[in-house]
Amino acid sequence: MSSSFVDTSFHVRYAETDAMGIVHHAAYIVWFEEGRSAYMRACGLPYSEVERRGYWFTVAEVRARFHTSARYDERIVVRTWLTELRSRGLTFTYEVRRVADNALLVTGETRHICVDHTGAVRRIPQDLLAALRPSEVTNISKEGQ
Q: Does 100 bind a copy of itself (CB under 8 A)?
A: no
Label the pairing between strands 140-141 and 6-11. Answer: parallel
Q: Indicate which single residue of 37, 92, 96, 134 sits in contact with a copy of itself (rule: CB under 8 A).
A: 37
73 vs 127, which CB is nearer to a copy of itself? 73
Tell me, yes or no, if 18 is annotated catalytic.
yes
DSSP structure class, residue 40: H
Stretch that binds a copy of itself, among 51-59, 81-89, 95-103, 123-131 (CB under 8 A): 51-59
Contact 41, 132 (CB under 8 A): no
Q: Where are the alpha helices (DSSP H) in 2-143?
A: 25-42, 47-52, 126-132
- Closest approach, Cβ 135 to a copy of itself, in A, equals 24
With contacts defined by CB under 8 A, how many residues of the chain interact with a copy of itself?
A: 44
